Structure 1
């Protein structure tokens, strides 16, 4: 017989098929970051795990630190802008998207450039 509590998480609520793996992903990322606190990829991974769960506040903090460590990391800048947008911080989102757009152009990333131009146009900032 299976343990009746094995599918319970989050204060006794049943875990969804997405929730349980993502929580373990956050835990794995936190362990990696504890071992390697200066590792920007570990910090990005933790931010992305939070982002994927919709925890934009936690994701924003991790992405900001990763971007401070690697200022030319375009993908992180895009995700940071999306966090700001989701949190309702329109000026910060616009500023971050503009920064990411400059990086996309400088790094010749046409797909992200088009995405950023669309995000800026939709926000009325283009």
Structure 2
């Protein structure tokens, strides 16, 4: 059983558990299944307004899916959180990503 299958089973049992959804999304991304990860990352980001990581991963996944316009607000929101939470490395990375998006 793959990691994504393991976490999909947990999400099926507890669909409101954002940590299971986040872990499922990470497993899907590791398996190059970004399109399937998007809904789970969106769910996590919408559930917790101050959770930066789902926003970063969602933005990157959307960029990888050539959905740059959809990615930009998520990445901008993640940048705002990175600054507020003093996460310097993610802040630098997000500024670069956003610069590339134009």
Same fold (TM over 0.5): yes
Greater radius of gyration (CA): 1
Runs of 4+ residues deviating >4 angstroms: none
Q: Structure 1: state its 5+ residue gaps.
A: 1-22
Q: Deviations over 1:30-89 (max 9, x none)?
A: 121122221100000111111111111111111001111112110110000011101111
Structure 1 distance, partners of 2:42, 2:82, is 18
Count of residue pairs the alignment pairs up: 102
SS in 2 for 1:103: helix
Q: Give the number of the structure whose residues are more often helix, by fraction.
A: 2
Q: Residue in 2 aligned with 1:4? A: none
The reply on whether 1:70 has 2:48 as its aligned counterpart is yes
The match for 2:79 is 101
Residue number in structure 1 paired with 2:27 = 49
Structure 2 residues not aligned, in runs of 5+:
none
Aligned residues: CA RMSD: 1.1
TM-score, normalised by the number of residues in structure 1 = 0.76
User: Which residue of structure 2 aligns with residue 24 of structure 1?
Assistant: 2
- After superposition, the C-alpha distances for 1:87-126 in whole angstroms (9 at most, x for unaligned) are 11111111111110001011111110011011111222xx
- 2:12 paired with 1:39: no
Structure with the bigger RCO (C-alpha within 8 Å, sep 6+) is 2
Length-normalised TM-score, structure 2: 0.93
